[in-house]
């Protein structure tokens, strides 16, 4: 017969209570299958983009979605393109002002808006450096996404200047003016002459003057 020893030292043939003193027997040895250590949950993965440990669905640093984004190695990011080279200076500039003689000539030609046009009493001279290869001349329009390099927006606002009026083009070391099909044309040096043909480059030299709109003149000269 198999016997067990109670906590007080008596031999007992029963396993629940000592058949000598009635004391509870010691608890039976634990079942090995129930005492296996519970495996620890897998460690939260690090963000594949920045290496930050996962604390939720989205990475706190770069917003990586651990749930939807594929696990495993993330392909290397493409190398960033080299920074753009600064626009090349050409040593030239264009000076924008208001020309009274040009305005008087425009009014004399008549037109549906001629009677309502008034020459501005005060215009601040503006200068634009001629850099790069092409410079758009016109009036800014956020709704149309037009942002000219030579912005002739007011005040005062010259109503005769188109939003995309003309283009200054630098080729072969020289500047040219190209009318972009403007409503009122582009004139070079002699405002009484015919407007230059649209989409046709006209060479410019230092000192040349370009007339656009109702009173605006642009003088090309060496930068000062």
pTM for the predicted model, two decimal places: 0.60
Question: What's the fold here for domain 89-222?
Answer: Tumour Suppressor Smad4 (2.60.200)
Strand order of the sheet with strand 89-98? 126-131, 89-98, 216-222, 209-212, 186-188
Q: Are strands 150-151 and 134-138 parallel, antiparallel or unpaired?
A: parallel
Asked if residue 213 lies in contact with residue 183, where contact means CB atoms within 8 angstroms, the answer is no
pLDDT digits (tens, 9 = 90+) for 25-57: 765 555 555 556 666 666 777 877 777 788 776
Backbone angles phi, psi at 118, to 5 degrees: -130, 130
Please tell me the distance from the alpha carbon of residue 64 to that of residue 62, in angstroms, as a whole number: 6
Average pLDDT over residues 11-18: 71
């Amino acid at each position: 017969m198999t016997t067990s020893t109670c906590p007080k030292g008596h031999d007992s043939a029963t396993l629940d209570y000592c058949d000598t003193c009635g004391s509870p027997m010691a608890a039976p040895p634990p079942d090995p299958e129930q005492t296996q250590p519970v495996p620890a949950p897998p460690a939260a993965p690090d963000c594949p983009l920045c290496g930050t440990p996962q604390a939720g669905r989205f990475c706190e640093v770069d917003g990586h979605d651990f749930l939807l984004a594929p696990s495993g190695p993330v392909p290397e990011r493409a190398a960033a393109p080299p920074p753009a080279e600064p626009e090349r200076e050409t040593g030239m500039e264009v000076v924008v002002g208001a020309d009274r003689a040009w305005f008087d000539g425009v009014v004399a030609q008549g037109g549906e808006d001629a009677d309502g046009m008034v020459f501005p009493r005060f215009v601040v001279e503006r200068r634009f450096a001629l850099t790069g290869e092409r410079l758009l001349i016109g009036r800014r329009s956020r709704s149309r996404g037009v942002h000219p390099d030579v912005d002739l927006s007011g005040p005062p606002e010259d109503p005769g200047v188109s939003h995309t009026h003309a283009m200054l083009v630098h080729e072969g070391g020289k500047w040219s003016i190209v009318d972009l099909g403007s409503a009122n044309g582009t004139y070079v040096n002699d405002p009484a002459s015919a407007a230059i043909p649209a989409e046709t480059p006209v060479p410019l030299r230092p000192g040349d003057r370009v007339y656009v709109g109702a009173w605006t003149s642009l003088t090309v000269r060496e930068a000062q």
